[in-house]
Amino acid sequence: IRKAIYRSGLGATLISGFTEKQIRSQKFNLPSPPNVNQDNIPWPMGDKIVNDCSSNVNQTALENAINSLFNETNREIPIRTHAVIVVYDGKIIGEKYASGFSRKSKLLSMSLAKSITGTLMGILVQEKGFNIDEPAPVPEWNSTSDPRHNITTRNLLQHTSGLYWTETEDENSTLLRMLFIEGDMGHYAASLPLTNEPGSVWEYSTGNTMILSRIIRQQLGDKDYYSFPYKKLFYKIGMNSFILEVDASGTFVGSSFFWGTARDWARYGLLYYNRGVFNNERILSEDWIDQTVASSDGYGGGRYGFQFYLNKPATDNTTVVRFPSVPTDAYYAAGDDGQDVFIIPSEKLVIVRIGATLTEDNDWGADAFLGAVINSCK
The pTM of the full predicted model, rounded to 2 decimals, is 0.96
Confidence (pLDDT) at 313: 80
Confidence (pLDDT) at 74: 86
The residues near 120 (Cβ < 8 Å, ≥ 6 apart) are 216, 228, 229, 232, 233, 254
CA dist., res. 310 & res. 299, Å (int):
10
Confidence (pLDDT) at 62: 98
Count CB neighbours of 178 within 10 A: 25
Contact 285, 126 (CB under 8 A): yes
Nearest to 121 by CA among 223, 252, 245: 252
- Give, as one character, the DSSP assignment of residue 190: H
Confidence (pLDDT) at 360: 76
Confidence (pLDDT) at 356: 95
For the stretch 148-157, pLDDT in tens is: 999 999 999 9
CA dist., res. 141 & res. 191, Å (int):
9
Count CB neighbours of 285 within 10 A: 16
> Which residues on neighbouring strands pair with residue 340, listed in sequence order?
334, 353
Nearest to 107 by CA among 272, 278, 341, 332: 341
Give Cα 217 to chain centroid, integer Å.
18
Which domains does the chain carry?
4-376 (3.40.710.10)
Peptide bond between residue 44 and the one before it cis (omega within 30 degrees of 0): yes
Count CB neighbours of 260 within 10 A: 25
Per DSSP, the chain holds a count of helices (H) and strands (E) of: 12, 13
Count CB neighbours of 170 within 10 A: 9
pLDDT less than 50: residues of the chain: none
Contact 242, 316 (CB under 8 A): no
CA dist., res. 293 & res. 5, Å (int):
38
